[in-house]
Amino acid sequence: MINKKLIASLSLVPWAAMLAFLPFPELSSERVEAFPSQQVPVEYENQTIGSVEMPDWNYFSFSDFEPVLTSGSINSSEYDVNEVGYDLSRQWNSGDRIESILTLGDLEEIMDAQQFSLDNISEITGDDLSFVSLDQFPLLGQSTLSELVNTIPQWQNLNLRVKNVPALAKLLNGQTIPGMKAGPNQRVAKVLKWSKFANLSFSQMPPAMQQTLNITQVTGASSVPLENYKGWETQKLDQIPGLKKVPFSKMPSALVPEIAGIARIDALWGTEEAKRYRTITGSYQQGFQVPCNENCAYLELDDIEGTGRTIRSEFEGKQWISGKYQKVNGGSGCLKMVNGGKEPTGRHPFGKAFKVSLEDTSQSDDTAQTALYFRIKVKCGATPYFLGPFPFLKVERDGWIIY
């Protein structure tokens, strides 16, 4: 850990200012187009001694993630679907994008993205919803008309007529029951009293028709919070128009960091290392000093003053163990045994949203690759952090890392 004298000497005082990294308006930000990041100065005794790379959450979104590196799955046999409340099962392959793996329910704990409406999202991304077809928003299409009446406040207006909802007029065109035709001048409330009409959904329209109609032609649908739609929890992020492009700093709930400090990378070691006990990695369940017995690829760390052996602090020589090779206990409650209850060892400098794991170390060029792992959390428990790895920041010897 960084001692109090070192903390006091940092230019980012108070230290809490360093932790509140959403955003860093006072720092110049060097954008990296492939991965939005910024270089945060590291200072010691009023001198800049380097910089540490951090994600620039003002630009960073799910669309910036590189594809997942390994395949994986969640099986319904690993948990009680009734206890969870909905089906979490899915599988993914190496090369899949994160937006095709994570669901809206997965983000409830960390970002509250379900509080967004499509209007909210389009205001942030600049997307024009008139170019978003009905088939691009299956959450709307899968709802029956009777469900949409309870979801969309404007549909509860007793004077709303079928013709006032262009997509509804298309869906009901030619639909009849004895003694009644669902024509454009009929009131929506009256039409939907009949089960034949009430049980219809936009997904029953021919695909070509769904592609020609846009979201704005379903009056009021874009202003409704996503969480008001039935089944919102299971929708993949790429099934919510524009969501993957929303910067993390614009999400309804910001990330809550748990940064302990900054360390200099003194050396990188490979899998031939064993019996490493001065670790700073682990899990919430086992703590963050889990020893490594074998295949102990790791980063050897030094404290921020970096004076080497002349002043040896307690932190000097601490080890960040690779989570690619060491697995630790994770998960809780009703989801504890998903993935066998295991997750890669690592740390949470950016909070509970995801886990930072050291993946590979390269002694030939003194560099290492980190990765992110996600979890799923519901009211009755959480899975281990095992949805990944998604490539994250690259670090190097004599560089800096946030832990």
pLDDT digits (tens, 9 = 90+) for 122-131: 999 999 999 9
- Paired tokens of 322: 């690779």
Task: Judge whether 223 and 315 are in contact, CB under 8 Å.
Answer: no
43: nearest Cα among 2, 6, 10: 10
Place of tokens 């960040």: 320
In the chain, what percentage of residues exceed pLDDT 70? 89
> 311 falls in which pLDDT band (50, 70, 90)?
low
115: nearest Cα among 126, 105, 125: 105
**What pLDDT, on the 0 to 100 scale, is given for residue 227?**
98
**pLDDT for residue 117 is more than 50:** yes
**What pLDDT, on the 0 to 100 scale, is given for residue 276?**
97
**What pLDDT, on the 0 to 100 scale, is given for residue 307?**
52
Which of 5-14, 110-119, 153-162, 245-254 has the weakest average pLDDT? 5-14
Amino acid identity for residue 249 in this structure: S
| CA 90, 95, 100, 101 torsion-angle sign | positive
Rounded to whole angstroms, the Cα distance separating 378 from 243 reads 21
**What pLDDT, on the 0 to 100 scale, is given for residue 5?**
36
The 3-class secondary structure across 377-389, one letter per residue, is EECCEECCCCEEE
Encode pLDDT of 377-394 as tens digits: 999 999 999 999 999 999
> 176 falls in which pLDDT band (50, 70, 90)?
confident
φ/ψ of residue 301, rounded to 5:
-110, 155
**What pLDDT, on the 0 to 100 scale, is given for residue 3?**
37
Pick from 13-22, 24-33, 45-54, 306-315 the range whose average pLDDT is largest. 45-54
> 88 falls in which pLDDT band (50, 70, 90)?
very high
Give mean pLDDT, residues 12-32. Answer: 34
Which of 107-116, 202-211, 310-319 has the weakest average pLDDT? 310-319
In 10 A of CB 32, how many CB atoms?
A: 15
Length of the chain: 403
**pLDDT for residue 182 is more than 80:** no
Encode pLDDT of 228-258 as tens digits: 999 999 999 999 999 999 999 999 998 899 9
> 64 falls in which pLDDT band (50, 70, 90)?
very high
154, 200, 334 from 161: Cα distances, Å: 11, 17, 47
Task: Judge whether 52 and 37 are in contact, CB under 8 Å.
Answer: no
**What pLDDT, on the 0 to 100 scale, is given for residue 32?**
38
Q: Which three-class secondary structure state does DSSP give residue 52? A: strand
**pLDDT for residue 309 is more than 60:** no
304: nearest Cα among 268, 349, 264, 267: 264
Averaged confidence pLDDT in the chain: 89
Put the strands of the sheet holding 387-396 in their side by side order: 355-362, 367-374, 387-396
**pLDDT for residue 336 is more than 50:** yes
In the chain, what percentage of residues exceed pLDDT 90? 76
